Structure 1
Amino acid sequence: MHAGFFIPADRIVSAVCQDPAMDLADVLDGLDDRPWAALQHAYGSAEDVPDGLRAVAGDDTEAAKEALYEFYGNIWHQGTVYAATVEAVPFLARLAAAGCHSAELLGLLGSIAESEDAHGVAPGACRAAVVAQLPLLLPLLAAEDAQVRQAAAWAIGHTGAQAEAWPGLERRWAEERGGVVRAELLAAMVRLDPAASAKAATGALDPAGPAELRVAGVLACLDAGLPWGVAHHDAVLSVLPADELVSERFDEEQREPLRAVVDALLRRDTDEDREAAFRLLDAALGREDPQVRGEAVWAADHACLVSRAAPARLVPALVPLLDDPLSASSVLSLLGKVAEQVGRAVVPSLVRLAGGGGDGGRDRDREGDEDGGDTADLALALLVTVAPERAAELLAAELPRRPRALAVAAGARGPGENTNEVALPFSPALLDAARRRLADPAVTGNEPIHLALLLALWGGRAAAAVPQLLDALPRIPLVGPKALVALCPTEGAVRERVENGLREAALRGPGDGRLASARALHELTGDVRPLLDAIRNKVAGGGYGVREAAQVAAGLTPATGVGPAAAELVPALRGALSDPAQQRNMPQLDGDVELAGALWRLTGDTTEAVRVLEGVLAEAGGAWFRWTGVRAARLAARLGSTARPLRPALEGMLTDPLHAPAATLALLAALPEEELRGQLNRTALADLVLASAEDGTDPDAAFEALTALGTRALTTEQRHRLAALADRDPRVVDSGLEDQIIRKDERLRTRARTVLADLGGRDAG
């Protein structure tokens, strides 16, 4: 998705066509001659575009606003442009030149020219269409309306047409006096010719000039690749807080100037520029103005997501802000992402903010201060990691008000991420509080789930909570059975009650939890009959339940003592396979992969599994199905040499960074060593796998594949690339859920170091 320029409907200016020299009949001449119905935009046929263009040209203000809003969704959709976009551009430019909603249409034209994501049209065709309209757009740089001049600069700057556009921008730069317009002109000039714009960018740092222009000057200097110096540092500090200074600018990526400056410096990836970014943040974090501090904390948060060095360098400057009520919450949110790097010096502040003394969170909670409660929860969540021995009693005292802290204590480090990295000490007080909450039927959602996970971490020491867990099973049908197994004593009345409760849940409990209860019952008693019945019922239910049931069935091998009985599942599993002659969805393909694995494990025959995988790999394309391909290749690797018929499909997956590691593992397992020659040799495979690791999509599989390839596969250059994954400053994992990016990247870094050592170090071979 491109940043682009988008004006919501409520900000669209109500303006009618104003240029009497342009007849609207001429502006829309040829409109009906274009093949609109045969063209496509984001929502299908573009047959509605002519009516939209007529509405923009008309005098019905509401209809024009609606049409403009639609154009920002159909011919330009979140940065993507279409065949219909090319045809619309000349009419959009004519309308803008005629004074019809000129600023809005110029903004749209600039976003179209900026786009690098074309659908159904040749790359660059839409930008070329805008370039062709420059004779109409360039005169608008001198329009009477400042917003039109600004929008014209935005649009022209994105054409990339340096020869045609530069003279007009340079001429306007010499004449323009409006600060915001000059800022947009400077940005446009830098886009077209960074070197030629360097003098103007440096001149814009003049302390006597408008603050808006100083902001643009700093950003332009960075875009032009100029060395960072004291003048740039001072210019940034002189305009803080800066967010409001760019609120009327069009570039969404620079709506937070301090963050944008820090990002640009860090991405230069030099020691000098990194330290320049950190010094700038140190200075901004030390300001008294709460607005400046707010911008600085946000920029520091971004720095930690971009740079591996940032947390250690910035935490000392952030910790003192915990004493500032206006900054504490945002600082805690940042520190929570780098909790493992915070250190114990922060413990007294966390205890106070979490409600352990002074005017902490507990007092503010009781006064009804919602922000105080949020701050206290964030502080306690961080304390769970930094000093778990101090956190347990505080969590017990305020358990209903501390959902984040409970989630971290239970092992939930972020959405969809559960680990047991935090070892919260056993606390009788917290156990009692957890039992009370579980006993309350009004406690629903994530809280009872996290309570069950916490109790499971304590194991038998939390056995007193068994009655509450049993009563809560309908609310926690998936995690409750696992927790009961962890807490259950080896004998006695409590054990008997757990077994009876699980048996009842497996037979008559909530449908989505019967399999989990049956598995737990089997683990405790060895009784396989409820488990086999639950697997059969889950498979019959279809959807993602098939995948879960097949995974459980695959574990019922002779080694577990269940093999003979589990054989009766084979007809049900085979009957659940989807029809390859029909168009299949992702749950069906994912289910088929697991079913293939289960059938192989239960029958010992790989033939059927290979046939199923062949069909899945033929369909597992497109963004939504890509992880299905990974799962299929993973199973192929376990099938070993019998998966050799899958070689063509597996080789076809090697060019996809996500698929390459799993496909490599499968090929290594399927092919004899003599076939790993020519283009499909170990060094070539290592190159593809390294590219996948550098992409950061599935690093665990990439490092597993590198280990499997072995030390002789890596060249010296490839070893240096592997070392860079461990040692470089820019994070490899740089996208995804913000609460997980840093931890995932740190795990990648650790794994890279381990694999490098296992393969003989940086210079071996």
Structure 2
Amino acid sequence: MIHGMDPIRFSAEVDARPWAALTHAYGSAADVPDCLRALAGEDDEKAAEALSELYGSILHQGSVYEATAHAVPFLARTAAAGVRAADVLAFLGGIAESGADDGDGDEAAARRAVTAELPLLLASVEAEDSDVRQAAAWAAAMTGAADEAYGALRDRFAVETDPQVRAELLGGLVHLDPARAAVLATAATGPGEPAEVRVAALTGCVDAGADWGPGHYDAMLALLPADPLVTGRVDLDRSEPLQYVVSSLLLRNTPADREGAYALLAAALRTGRPEVLAEAAWASESAVQISRSARERLAGPLCDAVLRDPEITEAVLPLLRLLGGHAAQAGSVLAEMAARDDDRADQALAALVDVDPVLAVPLLARDLARRPRALDAACGGAFGTPRVPCDADLLAAVRARLAEPGALGGQEPYRFAALLESWGSGASSALPDVLAALGKFPQQMTRALAAVCAPEDRAEAGEALRREARSERREGRLGAARALHQLTGDTEPLLTVLAERLEDGDPHGRREAASLAAGLGPRAAVLLPALSAAVSDPAADRTTPELDADIAVAEALWRIAGRAEEAVDLLRGPLSGAGPSWMRWTVSRAARVAAQLGDAGRPLTEALLRLLPEPVQTPVAVLALCAVAPETLDGPVTAGLLLDSAEQDADPFTALEALIGLGPAAMTGGHRRRLTELAERDLRVTASRVEGTTASADERFQERAREVLRALREPGEEA
């Protein structure tokens, strides 16, 4: 017997399931039986490894699979036998949390399987071991079975004395029935409860939709720093209470809740306590990503705190960077830090670039080689654009670095090229240095060369690019050929390189070459045979890069020679069905090329119409249909679908573009009110998928939404 279980019977019943025919995150679930046996076995090390493997396979990053529901009964039996019960119950809770209430999919099956074990979970809430009680309370709540579980958890809460278990019970009650638990959570915020329970009560209050008042404000401040109070919780979604409360209040998008959130943050930022400041800074960073007014509202209290105690500056550098120019008052403190000769100087200078670029430039120029973070900030990071002016001292520093190409390291060649390209002819004095660096960094320097070249230097620069485009070094040939075409109009080297890339087996190279060929139009007619030959086998199971390459070929065939029939055939595949989420951009690219075909793309109408109901594809489908078959669109209905897409942050920028395509006649008064709300509300619309860029993306959206509103005004309508 193993922990009171019959291992032979357990193993036999495990083996009776058709695991090899079931699937999990990595394919066949044939490995699950061994994991279940090891988890129930006596070897603790093997059991821990088995649990880790099960988390990775049947509950992979919060997703459940076909095999998950089949594993649940054996996990429940393991827990019921008292074998690693707390860990296994928490695992069952995670499965339930990732499931769904209804439907026929794996998610619904997984939750049903855990809900079927609810008698075990509720019995375990009465266990002697507090860890087991805590895990069981959370797992029972995650089933969502309020009718069966609420009363049992409420009864246990009435007698539970362990603070962590009590906190988990309260969180579970709020999850099961927020309205019923709101009074309970509000009562538990008072000083009569342990701190762990009070913080759970505060997050429970916002989850339950309770009004946030002075009592909540005072309790939250008194509990800071709050993170240590939840380190023992099974519920990981509320592991940063201040951030959770602030974000929840801001997402309610009401004036009163915003005031509550910002009053809380301002008080926390001004405490001067390092551990509180760390939580407040992180919560403030989240606020900037959610609320359009956050930068302005947070700048005052944060700058006050920095000026009062400059030593805290290092702890809030990321937040200062997010606040940008709103935090200019702290520029002098950042400049003093940036002027030092220590490890913090580069980080401080990077923040100063965002807060006050003009003040930062002299410091950046003074010690450019030792300021990689600041240089990165000056160039806008990996996904931005350079933001510093063409200063004589900074240009001299860049030239000095380029003069020693062997000394350049890391991202310097890319960053210098980006700066020079943004400065253009204002940096023409750097041409000799760029030419000198071209041989070592051809891929980076070719675009910079074309940008800084003055008219009188085109012959010299063109000859250098021509040599590079015809060299044996593959790395810089395409960039050199492109720059040469941009600078002189000479297409011969570019056509040669594109022909080579189209014959390449790499679909990424084929896609890039086909796109550049499309940009040349009829001048690329010599590439038509190579383009046709570059199409992937339609009978094969094509990868996303191969489909993307075919879409680029379709565009090239159309723009070079008007070969609509071939283009339509190539676009049918990507447009034929919804497919996985990672296909959305491939479908979008295909729809945009279809839009270029105009009436010649009419055979694609049905495929495009099938995309309309899906919010992530609605905008590109509308753009294409406006060009291909505009009579198929009901203007007001379509405008409503586009606004749905924007409101869901599915593809908001393209939704605005498509609204312009529909024109003013499609916009009702209700549509204009919805678009005005998107443009003027405090809650951000777009959540960029690139960390740290949400605010800037939303600000671009807001500006564009206002432009669209103006463009779609009816004749005679007031601005």
Flag whether TM exceeds 0.5 (same fold).
yes
Matches within 5 A, 1:24-423: 30-116=13-99, 121-323=105-307, 324=309, 327-340=312-325, 342=326, 344-355=328-339, 362-363=340-341, 365=342, 370=343, 372-383=344-355, 386=356, 388-410=357-379, 412=380, 414-415=381-382, 417-419=383-385, 422=387
Q: Which amino acid aligns with 1:76?
A: L
Q: Which amino acid aligns with 1:113?
A: A
Q: Which amino acid aligns with 2:488?
A: T
Q: Which amino acid aligns with 2:369?
A: P
CA distance in 2, matches of 1:163, 1:438: 71
The offset of 1:435, in angstroms, is 1.3
Of 663, 667, 670, the match for 1:714: 667
Is the Cα contact below 8 Å between 1:17 and 1:99 reproduced in 2? no
Q: Taking CA–CA contacts closer than 8 Å with sequence separation of 6 or more, which of the two structures ends up with the larger relative contact order?
A: 1
Q: Which amino acid aligns with 1:322?
A: V
CA, structure 1 residues 524+115, in 2 after alignment: closer, same or farther (shift >3 Å)? closer
Partner of 2:430: 465
CA, structure 1 residues 156+744, in 2 after alignment: closer, same or farther (shift >3 Å)? same
Is the deviation greater in 726-735 or in 703-712? 726-735
Structure 1 unmatched runs, 5+ = 1-15, 356-361
The offset of 1:509, in angstroms, is 5.6
CA, structure 1 residues 406+345, in 2 after alignment: closer, same or farther (shift >3 Å)? same
Partner SS, residue 724 of structure 1: helix
Partner of 2:497: 534
CA distance in 1, matches of 2:616, 2:675: 17
Q: Which amino acid aligns with 1:271?
A: P
Is the Cα contact below 8 Å between 1:204 and 1:214 reproduced in 2? yes
Is the Cα contact below 8 Å between 1:466 and 1:488 reproduced in 2? yes
Is the Cα contact below 8 Å between 2:320 and 2:351 reproduced in 1? no
Q: Does 1:480 align with 2:445?
A: yes
CA distance in 1, matches of 2:279, 2:16: 52
Is the Cα contact below 8 Å between 1:620 and 1:628 reproduced in 2? no
The offset of 1:374, in angstroms, is 4.1
CA, structure 1 residues 597+131, in 2 after alignment: closer, same or farther (shift >3 Å)? closer
Structure 2 unmatched runs, 5+ = none
Q: Which amino acid aligns with 1:472?
A: A
Is the Cα contact below 8 Å between 1:332 and 1:382 reproduced in 2? no
Is the Cα contact below 8 Å between 2:65 and 2:107 reproduced in 1? no
Partner of 1:654: 612
Q: Does 1:499 align with 2:471?
A: no
CA distance in 1, matches of 2:578, 2:140: 42
CA, structure 1 residues 622+127, in 2 after alignment: closer, same or farther (shift >3 Å)? closer
Is the Cα contact below 8 Å between 1:382 and 1:405 reproduced in 2? no
Is the Cα contact below 8 Å between 1:466 and 1:487 reproduced in 2? yes
Is the deviation greater in 198-207 or in 324-333? 324-333
CA distance in 2, matches of 1:326, 1:497: 53
CA, structure 1 residues 477+251, in 2 after alignment: closer, same or farther (shift >3 Å)? farther
Partner of 1:732: 685
Partner SS, residue 538 of structure 1: helix
Partner SS, residue 30 of structure 1: helix
CA distance in 1, matches of 2:690, 2:566: 38
Q: Which amino acid aligns with 1:460?
A: S
Percent identity over the alignment? 48
Q: Which amino acid aligns with 1:400?
A: A
CA distance in 1, matches of 2:7, 2:160: 30
After superposition, the C-alpha distances for 1:466-518 in whole angstroms (9 at most, x for unaligned) are: 22212322454344122111222322xx5443222111110116313212211
The offset of 1:403, in angstroms, is 2.4
Is the deviation greater in 303-312 or in 133-142? 133-142
Q: Which amino acid aligns with 1:55?
A: A
Q: Which amino acid aligns with 2:345?
A: G
Partner SS, residue 346 of structure 1: helix
Of 700, 706, 713, the match for 1:760: 713
CA, structure 1 residues 707+102, in 2 after alignment: closer, same or farther (shift >3 Å)? same
Is the Cα contact below 8 Å between 2:86 and 2:136 reproduced in 1? yes
Of 410, 413, 418, the match for 1:445: 410
Is the Cα contact below 8 Å between 2:347 and 2:374 reproduced in 1? no
Matches within 5 A, 1:563-578: 563=523, 566-578=524-536
CA, structure 1 residues 763+741, in 2 after alignment: closer, same or farther (shift >3 Å)? farther
Partner SS, residue 500 of structure 2: helix
| TM-score, with structure 2 as normaliser | 0.94
Q: Does 1:522 align with 2:475?
A: no
CA, structure 1 residues 453+162, in 2 after alignment: closer, same or farther (shift >3 Å)? closer
Partner of 1:704: 657
| TM-score, with structure 1 as normaliser | 0.88
CA distance in 1, matches of 2:709, 2:517: 37
The offset of 1:175, in angstroms, is 1.5
Q: Which amino acid aligns with 1:523?
A: Q
CA distance in 1, matches of 2:156, 2:180: 15
Partner SS, residue 252 of structure 1: coil
Is the Cα contact below 8 Å between 2:299 and 2:323 reproduced in 1? no
Is the Cα contact below 8 Å between 2:645 and 2:655 reproduced in 1? yes
Q: Which amino acid aligns with 1:469?
A: V
Of 553, 560, 580, the match for 2:517: 553
Q: Which amino acid aligns with 1:111?
A: G
Partner of 1:435: 399
CA distance in 2, matches of 1:192, 1:426: 59
CA, structure 1 residues 379+31, in 2 after alignment: closer, same or farther (shift >3 Å)? closer
The offset of 1:100, in angstroms, is 0.3
The offset of 1:101, in angstroms, is 0.1
The offset of 1:624, in angstroms, is 2.6
After superposition, the C-alpha distances for 1:39-67 in whole angstroms (9 at most, x for unaligned) are: 22222233332322222222122221111
